[in-house]
Each structure stands twice: as structure tokens, then as C-alpha cells.
Amino acid sequence: MVTRRQSLEDRVIKAKKDSGEINKLISEFKPFIASVAQKKVGRYLEYGVDDELSVGLIAFKEAMDSYDKNKGKFLSFAKLVISMRLIDYYRKQKRETTLSLDDEQSTTDAIDVKSMDSYRIDEENEKRVLEIIEYRAELEKWGISLEDLAKVSPRKESLRKHYKKVARVIVKNSDILNILLQTKRLPIKEIEEIIPIHRKKLERGRIYIIAVVLALVSNFSYLNICGSGE
């Protein structure tokens, strides 16, 4: 049986009974919280300085507490909760902001569950940003940064396609995928047995191949790295 990593949604559900996981998720998604708050406020915010980020952190925790899978993707749900809580915050503080406070769907005392259930991000760019944030967090668990990935990405399109093909073979092979996910190491010997590729080429493409596998397993549809490997 393939051991796949937990989706973010599964982690959020699990966190309801695990305070350690709650703190880990909040820490992991601080960049996401800051991005949502800064876009809503219209200026740069700094943790430990701007109250809006504290509001965002509390709202993110609130989103985890009230989330269920019927509400769709968690980050889309959390984005709405953070935005609404910032509106509430500015109403309470009576500050002049760049926010539009005339949205009749926003609430001051309670979350409008119906509006959250139907909420979807319409702009593809926003969806892509959310995926990148989640993808960055997943890569960091493997000791890989997006900067590292950019440095090792093959310049030749033919080689990129070849590595993507290898990644797809790994994802389809439960035994090899299990080894990779459990050991966090590319099972070169096992791959060589089913794919005609030189060991040195596999070793050079190790980070890139792992990154593509993680994107495929997570079903990230907006990342260019998941492009065709045929």
C-alpha cells in the first residue's frame, strides 16, 4: 500500500486534536498569512510590529478550528476568514484604511458559514500563489528550497522532460514511491531496474526529480514543474 503524504486538509483536521500540529501549521504558513493580510491592507507588514498580522494569526487558528472538508481547499477558506477578521478589526479600530468596508457579506460578530462554503478564488494567479506557498512548505520538509530547485533545474528542455518522465514512473510504482517517501532518498538502484537511465544522470537530477514527484503526489495543477514529461 502506498504511503502518501497527508494533504494540508488532512493535517488541519488532525490538528484539531493536536496542539503541536496546530503550532507547526501556524508557523509553516506565516508567509501565507502575511501575504493575505498585506494584500488586504495594501502595505508591507512586519511580525512583532503590525497588529494586523496578529489578527491574521488568530484568524488562521480560527479557520483551522472551524474547518471541515466540505468547505473546499483549506487555504481558500483561511484566506476568507483572515480577510473578514481584518475588516472586523478595522471597523472596531475605526481606522482609515485601503479596505472596502461596504461589503454586505462581511460580518462583525460571526463567520457567515454559507458564504465560506461557496467561496472560491476566481483569479488563477491567486491559486498559483497558494500552491507555491504550500509547495514551498512541502519542499522544506525535504531540505529543499525553491532557490535550490531553480539552481538545479536542467537548462535543456529534453533533460527536463526526461526527469519528469522518471518522476511519473516513480509515482505510478507504489514500491519505489514508498521507498522515496519513507526514506526521503531517491531509490536509484530500483529506478535503474525499470528505467534505462545512467546512474550519474539520476544522481545529478535527484533534487529536480524529487521536487516533481512531490508536486505530482500533491496534485498541484498550477505549477509549471508538473508539465508534460512525455
pLDDT averages per 10-residue partition of the chain, 230 residues: 65 87 90 89 86 92 87 85 85 54 42 43 56 80 85 88 91 90 89 85 90 85 59
pLDDT of res. 210:
93
Residues 99 and 161 in one domain: no
Would you say residue 125 lies in a domain? no
CA dist., res. 140 & res. 191, Å (int): 24
pLDDT of res. 128:
66
pLDDT of res. 106:
45
pLDDT of res. 209:
92
Number of domains observed in the structure of the chain: 2
Would you say residue 1 lies in a domain? no
CA dist., res. 151 & res. 32, Å (int): 24
Would you say residue 190 lies in a domain? yes
Asked if 26 contacts 16 with a C-beta cutoff of 8 angstroms, the reply is no
pLDDT of res. 117:
43
Residues 17 and 88 in one domain: yes
Given 60, 95, 120, which residue is the final one in a domain?
A: 120
The residue behind cell 488563477 is: 124
Residues 90 and 37 in one domain: yes
Given 120, 145, 161, which residue is the final one in a domain?
A: 120
Helix ranges (DSSP H) in the chain? 8-15, 19-28, 30-41, 51-66, 74-93, 113-117, 124-141, 146-152, 157-172, 174-183, 188-194, 199-204, 206-217
pLDDT of res. 152:
87
pLDDT of res. 42:
83
Structural domain that includes position 75: 8-120
Asked if 13 contacts 69 with a C-beta cutoff of 8 angstroms, the reply is yes
- Select from 159, 179, 162 the least CA-distant residue to 171: 179
Residues 95 and 164 in one domain: no
Residues 38 and 80 in one domain: yes
CA dist., res. 110 & res. 178, Å (int): 44
Would you say residue 25 lies in a domain? yes
**DSSP-based three-state secondary structure for 165:** helix
Residues 90 and 152 in one domain: no
Tell me the CB-side half-sphere exposure of residue 179, using CA atoms within 13 A: 12
Would you say residue 74 lies in a domain? yes
Residues 16 and 110 in one domain: yes
CA dist., res. 223 & res. 168, Å (int): 15
Would you say residue 144 lies in a domain? yes
Q: Angle at the Cα of 22 (from 90 to 77), degrees rounded to 5? A: 50
